Amino acid sequence: MPLVEPSLLEILACPACHAPLREEAAEAELVCTSDTCGLAYPVRDEIPVLLVDEARRPA
């Protein structure tokens, strides 16, 4: 089951660099697709938390 609706994922972008996001279902996160940014934003209760202060940099 997707974390967010596919139509919503199409329009979401990374708040830091404006690159598209992809789902990482195992971690319940949306991850920036940019090579230079790569921030991961949590999805809580099916709501993406797109705040740079809440994001983590994946290892």
Contact 37, 50 (CB under 8 A): no
The CA distance from 59 to 38, in Å, is 10
Phi-psi region for residue 3, left (φ > 0), alpha (ψ -120 to 50) or beta?
alpha
Domains of the chain and CATH, by start: 6-54 (2.20.25.10)
CA 37 to chain centre: 12
- End-to-end Cα spacing for the chain: 25
Q: What is the reported pLDDT for 2?
A: 84
Residue 1's pLDDT band (cuts 50, 70, 90): confident
Q: Is 10 helix (H, G, I), strand (E, B) or coil?
A: helix
pLDDT digits (tens, 9 = 90+) for 3-59: 899 999 999 999 999 999 999 989 999 999 999 999 999 999 989 999 999 999 977
Stated pTM of the model: 0.90
